[in-house]
């Protein structure tokens, strides 16, 4: 399964004219793709010379990604890399600055480095007094040699709607924490301790 980022890049590359050695780079993620595609004038001149040039149809499976068909150890090594500071946000919570990576950025990083991942909400539980909600989330990675999952919880106050719906906030927190248990953004937790 290819990531939506890869598919959208592929669509964009099909809309623009690529020369015989165009390179598409996502340096922010440490990812680059090279596409070889003849321009229409090059195809025409080769047809006139009697050379048959097959139409190049780029499929999603033709685009190399950094996670498909790799051992789990390689996927985990990629996820354990430091998240760039430009992707980290700071939120004031209980009088302290808390660094975090937004859930949608974590989702993109997972799609890039571990396209075979899956995630699911395992449970949603309200406290006995109804003042807080907790979500248990499971993230599973699939490698060529094994699969691994990690679960984590997130809790939000039902009364605090400053960051949106409390269940969604708890789910996002649980998702980020489960990914951190796989190494993604784990360095942020260590920085808080120092």
Residues 108, 44 share a domain: no
Residues 186, 129 share a domain: yes
Whether 35 contacts 18, CB under 8 Å:
yes
**CB-facing half-sphere around the CA of 97: CA atoms within 13 A:** 7
Whether 6 contacts 114, CB under 8 Å:
no
Residues 172, 83 share a domain: yes
Distance of CA 76 to the CA centre of its chain: 13
Tokens, residue 90 = 């700071």
Residues 86, 43 share a domain: no
Q: Is the pLDDT of residue 22 over 70?
A: no
The whole-model pTM stands at 0.63
**CB-facing half-sphere around the CA of 128: CA atoms within 13 A:** 0
Give 21's DSSP letter.
Answer: T
Residues 99, 61 share a domain: no
Residues 143, 60 share a domain: no
Q: Residue 70: inside a domain, yes or no?
A: no
The radius of gyration computed from the CA coordinates of the chain, to the nearest angstrom, equals 22
Residues 86, 49 share a domain: no
Residues 56, 102 share a domain: no
Residues 172, 90 share a domain: yes
Whether 173 contacts 133, CB under 8 Å:
no
How many domains does the chain contain in total? 2
Q: Residue 150: inside a domain, yes or no?
A: yes
Dihedral, CA atoms, 116, 3, 112, 183, nearest 10 degrees?
-40
Tokens, residue 3 = 């990531």
pLDDT for the residue numbered 67: 45
Residues 61, 80 share a domain: no
Tokens, residue 153 = 């919880």
Domain with residue 118: its CATH number is 3.30.390.80
The pairing of strands 96-100 and 118-126 is: unpaired
Q: Is the pLDDT of residue 142 over 50?
A: yes
pLDDT digits (tens, 9 = 90+) for 102-137: 999 999 999 999 998 999 999 999 999 999 999 999
Residues 47, 100 share a domain: no
Domain limits at 22?
Answer: 4-65
pLDDT digits (tens, 9 = 90+) for 163-191: 789 999 999 999 999 999 999 998 888 76
At residue 110, what are phi and psi to the nearest 5 degrees?
Answer: -60, -45
Tokens, residue 140 = 């599973």
Q: Residue 91: inside a domain, yes or no?
A: yes
pLDDT digits (tens, 9 = 90+) for 44-87: 444 444 444 444 444 444 445 554 678 999 999 999 999 999 99
Residues 129, 95 share a domain: yes
């Amino acid at each position: 399964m290819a990531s939506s980022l890869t598919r959208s890049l592929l669509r964009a590359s099909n809309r623009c004219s690529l020369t015989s050695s165009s390179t598409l780079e996502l340096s922010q993620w440490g990812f680059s793709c090279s596409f070889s595609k003849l321009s229409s004038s090059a195809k025409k001149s080769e047809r006139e010379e009697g050379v048959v040039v097959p139409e190049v149809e780029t499929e999603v499976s033709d685009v190399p990604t950094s996670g498909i068909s790799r051992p789990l150890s390689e996927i985990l090594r990629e996820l354990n890399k430091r998240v760039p500071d430009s992707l980290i946000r700071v939120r004031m919570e209980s009088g302290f600055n808390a660094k975090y990576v937004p859930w949608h950025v974590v989702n993109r990083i997972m799609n890039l480095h571990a396209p075979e991942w899956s995630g699911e909400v395992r449970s949603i539980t309200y406290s006995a007094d109804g003042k807080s909600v907790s979500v248990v989330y499971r993230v599973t990675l699939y490698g060529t040699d094994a699969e691994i999952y990690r679960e984590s919880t997130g809790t939000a106050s039902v009364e605090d709607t400053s960051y949106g719906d409390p269940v969604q906030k708890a789910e996002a927190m649980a998702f980020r924490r489960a990914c951190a248990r796989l190494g993604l953004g784990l360095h942020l937790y260590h920085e808080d301790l120092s």
